[in-house]
Amino acid sequence: MLAFMTEIVALISTLQPLATLGAALVAAGAALLTLFVTGRSARHAEMRVSQREVIQPYLQPLSAAVHECIALSFTVRRTSVKNKPAEGWISKAREASETMKTLRTELRYVLPGLDNGLRVLSLLPHWAIHVRDLESDRPERMLEAAGKLVAAIDDCVLRVSTKGLQPSRRHIRRVVSSADLVKKIFDEGADSPTNLLASVVD
Residue 123: what pLDDT?
95
- In a domain? residue 28: no
Residue 199: what pLDDT?
46
- In a domain? residue 23: no
For the chain, what is the domain count? 1
Residue 30: what pLDDT?
60
Residue 28: what pLDDT?
56
- In a domain? residue 5: no
Stated length of the chain = 202
Q: What's the whole-model pTM score? A: 0.70
- In a domain? residue 194: yes
Tell me which residues of the chain have a pLDDT lower than 50: 2, 4, 8-9, 11-12, 15, 195-201
Reduced to 3 DSSP states, what percent helix, strand and coil does the chain have, rounded to the nearest 5? 85, 0, 15
Q: Which residues span the domain enclosing 185? A: 49-201
**Contact status, residue 117 vs residue 172, Cβ threshold 8 Å:** no
DSSP, res 165: -
- In a domain? residue 141: yes
- In a domain? residue 57: yes
- In a domain? residue 69: yes
